[in-house]
């Protein structure tokens, strides 16, 4: 008999995953509004693996509702919405898909930086509205040969730094400790980093330790000509950012993630100097196909009794 697995949501429209799973497993799908109690008891007892995504995650209640759960496979690199502690108590391994979307997220981070600094979205709206005939749009900021600060020099941060090299930018970074294998300037203090650069890109790991890391004092240190780009969920204090943008404490922002997404504050949507994305960092067809393949590979290894290709390390994932 095929092992029975549960998809925490219908991801078939977002990931080409069903064609990889259905030949090997009996696949159940948790409906959008279903909670752990909606999993029929007979089915719950047969579920041996969970497949989830970065946005959906897995909570402790669902883990507890599946008495014979053997593993959790996450189709994505973020784990902040997975109850790793609940899984750990039962010795349930969790896999993820690190490294696949690194370049894509870095690409979008740089696109947001360019868009916010050079007013590409604002300029597009300006031309479409016929306002160019009334006069020129105000000036943006140069990007090349400027100073770029990166908060979190992991996989994504390092690719952002490489992209910056093509623009002859001076790269600075912040990490809990100085790295010995990079040529960039280290700042142990986040406010010092913000004060030293023109643009600040946030690519740190999402989690309790980074929630609200970019707060009012950091934004004030970045200053009136500064642009913030955020790729890390909840790493920016959203009310502080809104206040900084409203008061001109910083020049603008490019945002791919939000505190309560998919809900975005109306005030941010109304701001001309903010470029918004719908958490699109990983959303390319190439990435999604790779996510699906790696998730299937992790499941296949588990049920074959082989070492897991992508177990979540004890020290936590690297972004």
Confidence band for 245, pLDDT divided at 50, 70 and 90: very high
Find the catalytic residue in 158, 233, 234, 319: 233
Asked if residue 313 is part of any domain, the answer here is no
- Separation between Cα atoms, residue 256 and residue 210, nearest integer Å: 16
Same-domain pairing of 171 and 271 = yes
* pLDDT tens per residue, range 87-137: 999 999 999 998 899 999 999 999 999 999 999 999 999 999 999 999 999
Question: What integer pLDDT is reported at residue 33 of this predicted model?
Answer: 60
Find the catalytic residue in 147, 175, 261, 289: 261
Same-domain pairing of 124 and 152 = yes
Position 36 pLDDT exceeds 70: no
Asked if residue 314 is part of any domain, the answer here is no
Q: Which two tokens stand for residue 176?
A: 């809990």
Asked if residue 316 is part of any domain, the answer here is no
Q: How many CB atoms lie within 10 A of CB 125?
A: 12
Q: In terms of DSSP H, where are the helices of the chain?
A: 18-21, 41-44, 60-64, 84-89, 102-118, 120-128, 155-165, 190-196, 216-222, 238-246, 266-269, 285-304
Question: What integer pLDDT is reported at residue 37 of this predicted model?
Answer: 55
Same-domain pairing of 114 and 230 = yes
Question: Which residue is listed with tokens 């014979």?
Answer: 68
Question: What integer pLDDT is reported at residue 35 of this predicted model?
Answer: 57
- The proportion of the chain whose per-residue pLDDT surpasses 70, expressed as a percent, equals 94
Question: What integer pLDDT is reported at residue 294 of this predicted model?
Answer: 94
Asked if residue 312 is part of any domain, the answer here is no
Q: Which residues contact 8 (CB under 8 A, 6 or more apart)?
A: 30, 50, 51, 52, 53, 56, 57, 58, 62
Which of the 8 DSSP states describes residue 236?
Answer: B
233 is catalytic: yes
Same-domain pairing of 162 and 249 = yes
**Residue 290 domain boundaries:** 4-99+285-304
- Separation between Cα atoms, residue 189 and residue 206, nearest integer Å: 19
Pick the residue with more confidence: 124 or 55?
Answer: 124
72 contacts 50 by C-beta, under 8 angstroms:
yes
Question: What integer pLDDT is reported at residue 41 of this predicted model?
Answer: 79
Question: What integer pLDDT is reported at residue 34 of this predicted model?
Answer: 56
CA dihedral 9, 15, 17, 18 (to 10 degrees): 60
Position 7 pLDDT exceeds 60: yes
Going from the C-alpha of 213 to that of each of 67, 132, 232, the distances in angstroms are 37, 39, 10
Find the catalytic residue in 28, 81, 279, 289: 279
Tally of structural domains, the chain: 2
Q: Are strands 71-75 and 274-276 parallel, antiparallel or unpaired?
A: unpaired
Tell me the whole-structure pTM to 2 decimals: 0.86
105 contacts 98 by C-beta, under 8 angstroms:
no
**Partners of 61 in the beta sheet?**
none
Asked if residue 251 is part of any domain, the answer here is yes
- Separation between Cα atoms, residue 25 and residue 13, nearest integer Å: 19
Position 242 pLDDT exceeds 80: yes
* pLDDT tens per residue, range 208-226: 888 899 999 999 999 999 9
Asked if residue 311 is part of any domain, the answer here is no
* pLDDT tens per residue, range 120-129: 999 999 999 9
Same-domain pairing of 95 and 118 = no
* pLDDT tens per residue, range 182-210: 999 999 999 999 999 999 999 998 878 88
Same-domain pairing of 33 and 114 = no
CATH of the domain at 9: 3.40.50.720
Position 252 pLDDT exceeds 70: yes
Going from the C-alpha of 100 to that of each of 6, 18, 292, 293, the distances in angstroms are 23, 19, 11, 11
Same-domain pairing of 92 and 196 = no
Pick the residue with more confidence: 17 or 308?
Answer: 308
Question: What integer pLDDT is reported at residue 15 of this predicted model?
Answer: 64
Same-domain pairing of 57 and 77 = yes
- CA dihedral for 186, 232, 287, 91, sign (positive or negative): positive
Same-domain pairing of 47 and 162 = no
């Amino acid at each position: 008999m095929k092992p029975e697995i549960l998809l925490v949501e219908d991801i078939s429209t977002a990931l080409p995953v069903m064609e990889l799973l259905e030949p090997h497993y009996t696949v159940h799908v948790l409906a959008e509004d279903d909670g752990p109690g909606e999993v029929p008891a007979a089915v719950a007892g047969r579920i041996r693996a969970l497949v989830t995504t970065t946005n959906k995650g897995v909570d402790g209640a669902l883990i507890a509702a599946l008495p014979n759960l053997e593993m959790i496979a996450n189709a994505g690199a973020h784990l902040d919405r997975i109850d790793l502690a609940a899984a750990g108590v039962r010795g349930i391994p969790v896999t993820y898909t690190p490294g696949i979307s690194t370049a894509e997220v870095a690409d979008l981070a740089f696109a947001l930086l360019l868009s916010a600094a050079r007013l590409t979205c604002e300029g597009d709206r300006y031309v479409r509205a016929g306002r160019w005939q009334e006069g020129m749009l105000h000036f943006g900021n140069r990007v090349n040969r400027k100073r770029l600060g990166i908060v979190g020099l992991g996989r994504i941060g390092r690719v952002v730094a490489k992209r910056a090299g093509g623009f002859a930018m001076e790269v600075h970074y912040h990490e809990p400790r100085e790295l010995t294998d990079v040529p960039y300037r280290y700042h142990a203090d986040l406010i010092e980093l913000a004060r030293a650069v023109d643009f600040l890109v946030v690519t740190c790991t999402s989690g309790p330790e980074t929630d609200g890391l970019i707060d009012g004092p950091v934004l004030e240190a970045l200053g009136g000509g500064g642009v913030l780009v955020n790729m890390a969920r909840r790493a920016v204090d959203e009310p502080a950012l809104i206040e900084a943008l409203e008061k001109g404490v910083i020049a603008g922002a490019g945002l791919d993630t939000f505190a309560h997404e998919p809900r975005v504050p109306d005030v941010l949507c109304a701001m001309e100097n903010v470029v918004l994305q719908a958490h699109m960092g990983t959303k390319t067809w190439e990435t999604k196909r790779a996510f699906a393949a790696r998730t299937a590979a992790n499941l296949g290894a588990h049920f074959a009794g082989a070492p897991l290709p992508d177990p979540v390390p004890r020290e936590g994932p690297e972004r």
